[in-house]
Structure 1
Amino acid sequence: MSYDLAVIGAGVLGLAHALAAARRGKRVVVIDRDAQANGASIRNFGFVTVNGQQAGDCWALARRTREIWAEVAEAARIPILHRGMLVTARRPEAEAVIDAFLETDMARQTDCRRMTRDEAAALAPLSASVSAALWSPTELRVESREAIPALAAWLAAAHGVEFRRGVEVHAVQTPRLETSAGVIEAETVICCPGDDYSGPFADRLAAYGLTRCKLHMLRIRPETPVRLEAAVMSDLGLARYLGYAELPEARALAARLDAEQPEQRANGVHLIVVRSADGSLVVGDSHHYAATPDPFAPQSVDALITDEMEATLALGPWRVAERWLGTYASAPDRWRLTDAPDAATRVVIVTAGCGASTGFAIGEETVAGLFD
């Protein structure tokens, strides 16, 4: 059988491209070497983040992606576990960044506002040190490890997308793909390899100077159930997420954090806490960069993350129920790349930790470029 589009990679970015093509009535096959979702797409927070993304196309694509997530979640019966985001502040410098962000078009277009501590405490169990918060109503949270398989199953059932799992792609010369399961023919090809740069386009990807980011993730179970009605971030996020960190007011906050929390800053730690359906909390994360990150997860790094959690949230006694490592593609000079080996072939990678937050809109963009 011949296809209109072959997508290599069944992570969230690959599925996003499959959706965009299927909505145009295209015959789509998705090829993945793994038997099930196993990479960055299921190892993250499931936190579809708009505000905090870098101003410009990243923020705009995140906003569109959030709209598509809302549509797809309803159609595919993917639970949205909570909505909105609290970016908390414990320092005057952090409050200044929040106030500056509220003056941007990004904040105005998404109805962000400043909350007092008491207002924010109605949504999350804040520690006594939190003085104020930014409220963004835009964000969504899904459970990644469940949402990605559900999304693939819905694409197959509702849109006729075919999946070839456990199949390695050896070479691509569109319209011909040579795979471990034989030759597949497709009019167009989109390769979404994530942070694996060793596939059929390795020579082209080498020119981009790509590396990888490793991050620590934890699942926390409080002994007493806590109310968490939105994702929670902290001062460290205001100095890391570029939508905030590139504001002039963030320089003073970064300098104070470098002096007061040098270990967190050196390990790329910032705080995100989100709630799961069973009441547990997914907490992270850290950032370490290398061409081949080591597989080890020092407890000292986990402690830096949970220290920031305890400084921000009053959870009472808790225990770690689960730990895991995530990895994603990274580049020193861009947050995404689209490479065109020929007129009918694209290689698409999100080179930052925002694939789930921007992927659907990138899929629309790529497919429009190929078929329009």
Structure 2
Amino acid sequence: MTQLLIIGAGILGLSHAYAAAKRGLKVKVFERSATPLGASVRNFGQALVTGQPPGAMLDLARESRDIWAQWAQLSGLQLKRNGSYLFARNEAEEHLLEAFCAGRAQEHDYRVELLQGTAMNDLYGGQFRHHRAALHGLDDQQVYSREAIPALINYLCRELKVEFHFSTLVRDIEPGQLHSTAGTFRGEQIIVCSGHDYQTLLAEQIAELNPQICRLQMLRARPQVNLNLQHALLTGLSCVHYGAFADLPEAAPVQAQILRDAPHLHENGIHLLISPTPYGELIIGDSHHYGSDPSPFNAEQVDDWMIELAEQTLGCKIQVTERWQGVYGSRGPGPFSFLRVAPGVSVALMHTGVGMSVGPAMAESNIAQLLGEQ
């Protein structure tokens, strides 16, 4: 029986473990901490299809959507399948959404609907009528990552007999074996899914990709009005960030307006995302700062700007209950890399913050490739 060793129990590591174990491979996963603590649990839990650009990323997001549905059924993790609302706050953002719906959405079969007028005013009992329009992304999904990742681990362990080694640092790998704080293990294939750790394993090969690290400021908050929010929320700010919209001609006036009226949002990479948790709270963010090492210091001003945006969008005050720093690997040669660096040794890296959206299908493709499937 082929044995696969995976380093990292984030969404990429778990996705590769699932793709391999369901094919009958014997899989062992190694994670340096007692439970995953990286990008896969610090995020919004949004598996977005609507924001992905046409081509490979959109295809991967659609395939990943189906895999998430399988996981929800198999593991019992909570999956919200109501989609997302992207709000147009002004005329330029509304024109961009209209152009997207009239052109690209039809051309590439994005499942969306544009709410305007009465439909917009009736949304959530009129809570969002201060916006001009809302793009309902029908295929977008959400999980509460802090619970979904452990639920997935539990399922892989219990049903697919994946063996997990937590609190185990892998110090070195070579074809056919890895050396860790729990001893030496042998496997025909080794896949490194180490997130933004570019220095512990395969440092020379990863360095050639010239990747960077993105750090984000994130908040958890309770709205002072009981919104009973069941959808992820975005605003037109996200349109200049996500590839589905950013290269459309109608995006240029949106970007120009941000640079003119709120240059601090551009300078700090702030575009609003809001995700409801199962407990009536909201996960709110985020900012984007890039470098080779994430600064450990958060700026209160950035949080203040995000809170202000969130309150404008929600139409109510919020009470912050928790703050943290997200961090993920970014800015490599493309949105992701899968390198086969030695016989039986590969590394899978995301270079953008959409691992939850495309990681499951990306892993499926990588495992199929390793096993020589068509």
| Smaller-chain TM-score bracket | over 0.9
1:162 is displaced (CA, Å) by: 0.4
- Alignment match, 1:168: 169
CA distance in 2, matches of 1:163, 1:206: 28
Are 1:104 and 2:136 matched, yes or no? no
- Alignment match, 1:206: 207
- Alignment match, 1:262: 263
- Percent identity between the aligned chains? 34
- Alignment match, 1:352: 352
- Alignment match, 1:292: 293
Q: Which amino acid aligns with 2:246?
A: A
Cα deviation digits, residues 14-60 of structure 1 (max 9, x gap): 00000000111110000111111101000001111111112211111
- Alignment match, 1:131: 132
Q: What are the residue-to-residue correspondences of 1:45-194 with 2, within 5 Å?
A: 45-81=44-80, 83-102=82-101, 103-105=103-105, 109-124=109-124, 126-194=127-195
Over 3 Å counting, the alpha-carbon distance change for 1:92 and 1:98 in structure 2 is same
Cα deviation digits, residues 267-290 of structure 1 (max 9, x gap): 100111111111111111110011
CA distance in 1, matches of 2:107, 2:83: 13
Are 1:240 and 2:241 matched, yes or no? yes
CA distance in 1, matches of 2:226, 2:360: 34
CA distance in 1, matches of 2:89, 2:225: 25
Q: Which amino acid aligns with 1:36?
A: T
Over 3 Å counting, the alpha-carbon distance change for 1:120 and 1:148 in structure 2 is farther
Preserved contact between residue 274 and residue 283 of structure 1 (Cα < 8 Å)? yes
- Output the TM-score relative to the length of structure 2: 0.95
- Alignment match, 2:283: 282
Q: Which amino acid aligns with 2:339?
A: D
Cα deviation digits, residues 285-338 of structure 1 (max 9, x gap): 1100111111111110011112211222212x3210111101000115421111
Preserved contact between residue 120 and residue 129 of structure 2 (Cα < 8 Å)? no
Are 1:339 and 2:339 matched, yes or no? yes
1:184 is displaced (CA, Å) by: 0.3
Cα deviation digits, residues 228-269 of structure 1 (max 9, x gap): 221110011011112111112111111111111111111100
Over 3 Å counting, the alpha-carbon distance change for 1:105 and 1:342 in structure 2 is farther
Structure 1 stretches lacking a partner, 5+ long: none
Preserved contact between residue 190 and residue 345 of structure 2 (Cα < 8 Å)? yes
Of 38-47 and 248-257, deviating more is 248-257
CA distance in 2, matches of 1:183, 1:117: 64
Q: Which amino acid aligns with 1:342?
A: A
Over 3 Å counting, the alpha-carbon distance change for 1:194 and 1:295 in structure 2 is same
Of 66-75 and 113-122, deviating more is 113-122
1:366 is displaced (CA, Å) by: 0.7
Over 3 Å counting, the alpha-carbon distance change for 1:187 and 1:332 in structure 2 is closer
Over 3 Å counting, the alpha-carbon distance change for 1:119 and 1:314 in structure 2 is same
Size of the alignment, in residue pairs?
A: 370
Over 3 Å counting, the alpha-carbon distance change for 1:106 and 1:331 in structure 2 is farther
RMSD (Å), alpha carbons: 1.6
- Alignment match, 2:321: 321
* 2:139 counterpart SS class: strand
Cα deviation digits, residues 96-126 of structure 1 (max 9, x gap): 2112221215776242111115424544464
* 1:42 counterpart SS class: coil
Over 3 Å counting, the alpha-carbon distance change for 1:312 and 1:126 in structure 2 is farther
Over 3 Å counting, the alpha-carbon distance change for 1:121 and 1:271 in structure 2 is farther
CA distance in 2, matches of 1:101, 1:201: 41
* 2:305 counterpart SS class: helix
Preserved contact between residue 48 and residue 140 of structure 1 (Cα < 8 Å)? yes
Of 301-310 and 27-36, deviating more is 301-310
Q: What are the residue-to-residue correspondences of 1:294-309 with 2, within 5 Å?
A: 294-309=295-310
- Output the TM-score relative to the length of structure 1: 0.95
* 1:268 counterpart SS class: coil
Are 1:253 and 2:254 matched, yes or no? yes
* 1:151 counterpart SS class: helix
Over 3 Å counting, the alpha-carbon distance change for 1:224 and 1:252 in structure 2 is closer
1:127 is displaced (CA, Å) by: 4.3
Cα deviation digits, residues 328-353 of structure 1 (max 9, x gap): 00115421111111242210011100
Structure 2 stretches lacking a partner, 5+ long: none
Over 3 Å counting, the alpha-carbon distance change for 1:212 and 1:239 in structure 2 is same
Over 3 Å counting, the alpha-carbon distance change for 1:261 and 1:117 in structure 2 is farther
- Alignment match, 2:371: 371
Of 114-123 and 10-19, deviating more is 114-123
Q: Which amino acid aligns with 2:28?
A: V
CA distance in 1, matches of 2:24, 2:106: 34
Q: Which amino acid aligns with 1:304?
A: W
Over 3 Å counting, the alpha-carbon distance change for 1:18 and 1:117 in structure 2 is farther
